[in-house]
Amino acid sequence: MTPILHEQARAARDEVFGRNVFVRGVVEVSSFCRQNCHYCAMRRDNRLLDRYRLKADELADLIIHRRPAAITDIDIQAGEDPVAVREVVLPLVRELRKRTNLGITLCLGTLSPFEYDQLREAGGDYYVIKIETGNAEHFQSIGAPGTLDKRVNAIRYLANSGWKVSSGFIVGLPGQRPSHIDQTLELLSQLPLAGCSVSPFVAGVDTPFVGAPCGDINRTLDCVAEMRLASPQWIIPAVSAMSLVSNDGYVRAFNAGANLATINLTPDAVRADYPIYKRDRIVMDEDRVLSSIEAAGCEVSRVGIADYLKNLLPTQRVAASAPLPESVTN
């Protein structure tokens, strides 16, 4: 860890956002997935996982009537499951857009342009699509979806069709070299993004990478700081995996320049069946999130992500909408 780097990153965040931290809720609507990533326990070849899809009307009731007051945006997340997109996410987004002022974030994997457009028309604001690593060969070796080029093209399509887009990567993936991290940070800085995340690797049970060591929390937090300094206007989250690898990792993320926290609203009955990392995951509930924000000397933003991004001046949008250089697209 580099203390001066983190101090500089905090100052850069405070100059743009103040000490305000956006708070969103997440509902994990389906654990079905057609992908087979080596690092994720929801991979399609994991026959030991009980799969589920939640119902749109029950989720709407939860979000509309029982969400914590601090939440300004909702993140609808799933494995890469086109059935859930059609049967759960689209009706849920339409209902939320009709009955709430929530910003709507979606994290549903690589879909078709038609599906992206449907979700945008229904009311989606912000799409999260992670690259995991910026090295094409490493991308293939970890079984990530498709190819790195296809993932980058999806990001460009989303940004060009009106979405605000966030991406992200993992520190400590098996086979990752220090040069891969540098390459990933460089690629991300060139993409048309409004935000980005970084997570320490946590080996999932029932995956090819079970038993591999966790990613280093200090290098992960340095990446938070480096992203903040490279792109001061980005929305950068603290993520739950930071708490899995370090007791104070989540709070330290805010002290390294993060400005987004997520409260998990997924019903208790199915949480264990959405094992991004492990079944015994740390669930960031309202108390954990709000106390972490306070411990970092920050406060909850009264403005949501979607509203904040809509109100940016045109000159402030330039860095989040710049086209990729030719060297990346070829």
**Helix H or strand E segment including 111:** none
Three-class DSSP category at 118? helix
What is the pLDDT at residue 313? 52
- In the chain (330 residues long), the average pLDDT of successive 10-residue segments reads 92 98 98 97 94 98 98 98 98 98 98 98 98 98 97 98 98 98 98 98 92 96 98 97 94 98 96 80 91 98 95 53 33
Per the CB < 8 A criterion, the answer to whether 8 and 294 are in contact is no
Could you give the number of structural domains in the chain? 1
What is the pLDDT at residue 246? 94
What is the pLDDT at residue 2? 82
**Which residue type sits at 215?**
G
Identify the CA nearest to 305 among candidates 17, 76, 10: 17
What is the pLDDT at residue 329? 32
Cα dist. 117→120, 121, 122, 161 in Å?
5, 6, 8, 8
What is the pLDDT at residue 177? 98
What is the pLDDT at residue 283? 87
Q: How far apart are CA 276 and CA 234, in angstroms?
A: 24
How far is C-alpha 314 from the geometric centre of its chain's CA atoms? 25
Residue 74's domain comprises: 3-329
| Long-range contacts at 90-97 (CB < 8 A, ≥ 24 apart) | 90/118, 90/119, 90/122, 91/56, 92/29, 92/56, 92/59, 92/60, 93/119, 93/122, 93/123, 93/124, 94/122, 94/123, 95/56, 95/57, 95/60, 95/64, 96/60, 96/63, 96/64, 96/123, 97/122, 97/123
Structure tokens at 156: 């460009």
Cα dist. 265→16, 60, 286 in Å?
29, 12, 9
**Which CATH number goes with the domain that contains 203?**
3.20.20.70
For 195, phi then psi, to 5°, come to: -165, 170
What is the pLDDT at residue 325? 31
Q: Which residue has the tokens 């997440």?
A: 26
